[in-house]
């Protein structure tokens, strides 16, 4: 669930694609009704209109991103007769950093000499760590209270945002090298997943819209800390953004920038990972732990703790802060292949539904409330509908 990177360019790929923040959107009156089947043109690309209306919302989803000021906890701990390798606290960067983070955790687990590994949790981090361990020749069992699609990772926005809420600015210098290592490992793995059936990973174009020159608005969220920003360290990985001249795009805003980023079609991606894990002989046991001492009952001597925000209660880690995030999905439109970033909303064209997310709103930091606020999502969809109604088409 990554919102802040759209406002502060904290997500590495999005930051590379756009060096400035977004300004408030101003709608210019363009009398142009858009019918189904019409195409809009932006910089030579044909854009299908999004059918944005509240009656097309298929679901509203809330999750808590697990933020730690010092960054993810990836370290070993001796606990009774077990070695626990912690791998949690990735903020809004769980999917984006999963392969790199899992690689670091696996190296620690292998240092114990184990041939059997237990993984606690089956979200983005747990599942990828388990797959990496399998590929390294270990026998793996996942212990989890829920499996995809019933894990918080499935409620993420689906964009490559490797430094979204990954640490605070005060800890950025000490965390930067580890972050870059995880980012480069993850990026390389995602490139190997392109072009597969179901498009679990794909490149998409998107458009940032503003009514003032890019770079004039920073979009701080008033009640959240300053987060670490690491985009400059990986600028060689991703395409550059392009500013579109007035008249070359259909948007009412005077300033438009086209960016290119990786997108996870999370439903098909999670299904791919789960299928590969099971096909390789991976074992799963549905089990919920309420206290770390219960882990002593497990047969594996080495365990990876990938419980995300759940680690706060399980290991009494009060440094783990919940950051609430909410998305809504519209009925899928396969013809819509572009993303959008406005001042107040983000749009991601996933195959399991067009994701519409409110961005920049306060009241989410240290907020564990999982109650959906449907009115907020409906307002975001109406804002998107307003944009569609005011777009020019040929």
Token digits of residue 145: 């209270």
Identify which of 160, 163, 152 has the alpha carbon closest to the alpha carbon of residue 189: 160
**Confidence at residue 219, expressed as pLDDT on a 0 to 100 scale:** 53
The rounded distance, in Å, linking the Cα atoms of 165 and 70 is 11
Q: Residue 178: inside a domain, yes or no?
A: no
**Confidence at residue 9, expressed as pLDDT on a 0 to 100 scale:** 35
Domain with 234, as residue range(s), is 20-67+203-264+321-389
Q: Residue 60: inside a domain, yes or no?
A: yes
The rounded distance, in Å, linking the Cα atoms of 133 and 137 is 7
The rounded distance, in Å, linking the Cα atoms of 336 and 167 is 34
The rounded distance, in Å, linking the Cα atoms of 389 and 386 is 5
pLDDT lower than 70: segments of the chain: 1-41, 43-44, 216-220, 393-394
What CATH number is associated with residue 344? 3.30.9.10
Q: Residue 107: inside a domain, yes or no?
A: no
Tell whether pTM > 0.85: yes
Token digits of residue 196: 């597969």
**Confidence at residue 393, expressed as pLDDT on a 0 to 100 scale:** 67
Q: Residue 336: inside a domain, yes or no?
A: yes
Q: Residue 76: inside a domain, yes or no?
A: no
**Confidence at residue 46, expressed as pLDDT on a 0 to 100 scale:** 84
Q: Residue 142: inside a domain, yes or no?
A: no
Judge whether 135 and 110 are in contact, CB under 8 Å. no
Q: Residue 78: inside a domain, yes or no?
A: no
**Confidence at residue 186, expressed as pLDDT on a 0 to 100 scale:** 98
Identify which of 363, 362, 333, 358 has the alpha carbon closest to the alpha carbon of residue 347: 358
* pLDDT tens-digit readout, 216-262: 544 568 899 999 999 999 999 999 999 999 989 999 999 999 999 99
- What is the tally of structural domains in the chain? 1
**Confidence at residue 339, expressed as pLDDT on a 0 to 100 scale:** 98
Q: Residue 41: inside a domain, yes or no?
A: yes
């Amino acid at each position: 669930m990554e919102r802040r990177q759209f406002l502060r360019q904290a997500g590495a790929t999005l930051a590379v694609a756009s060096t400035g923040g977004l300004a408030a959107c101003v709608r210019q009156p363009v009398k142009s009704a858009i019918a189904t089947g019409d195409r809009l043109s932006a910089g030579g690309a044909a854009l299908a209109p999004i059918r944005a209306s509240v009656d097309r919302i298929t679901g509203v989803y809330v999750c808590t991103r697990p933020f730690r000021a010092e960054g993810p906890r990836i370290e070993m701990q001796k606990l009774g007769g077990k070695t626990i390798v912690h791998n949690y606290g990735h903020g809004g960067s769980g999917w984006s950093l999963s392969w790199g983070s899992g690689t670091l955790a696996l190296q620690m687990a292998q240092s114990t000499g184990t041939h059997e590994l237990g993984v606690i949790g089956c979200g983005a981090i747990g599942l990828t760590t388990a797959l990496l361990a399998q590929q390294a020749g270990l026998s793996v069992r996942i212990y989890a209270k829920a499996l995809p699609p019933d894990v918080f990772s499935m409620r993420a926005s689906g964009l490559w945002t490797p430094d979204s809420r990954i640490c605070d600015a005060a800890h950025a210098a000490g965390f930067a090298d580890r972050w870059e290592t995880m980012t480069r490992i993850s990026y390389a793995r995602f490139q190997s997943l392109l072009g597969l059936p179901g498009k679990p990973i794909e490149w998409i174009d998107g458009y940032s819209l503003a009514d003032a020159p890019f770079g004039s608005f920073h979009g701080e969220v008033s009640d959240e800390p300053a987060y670490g920003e690491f985009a400059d360290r990986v600028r060689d990985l991703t395409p550059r953004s392009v500013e579109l001249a007035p008249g070359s795009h259909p948007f009412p805003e005077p300033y438009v920038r086209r960016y290119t980023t990786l997108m996870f079609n999370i439903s098909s991606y999670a299904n791919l990972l789960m299928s590969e894990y099971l096909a390789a002989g991976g074992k799963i046991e549905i089990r919920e732990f309420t206290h770390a001492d219960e882990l002593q009952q497990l047969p594996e001597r080495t365990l990876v703790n990938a419980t995300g925000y759940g680690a706060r209660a399980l290991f009494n880690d009060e440094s783990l802060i919940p950051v609430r995030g909410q998305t809504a999905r519209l009925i899928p439109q396969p013809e819509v292949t572009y993303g959008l970033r406005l001042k107040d909303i983000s749009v991601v064209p996933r195959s399991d539904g067009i994701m519409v997310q409110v961005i920049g709103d306060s009241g989410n930091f240290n907020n564990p409330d999982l109650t959906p606020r449907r009115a907020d999502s409906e307002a975001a969809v109406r804002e998107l509908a307003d944009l569609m109604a005011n777009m020019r088409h040929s």
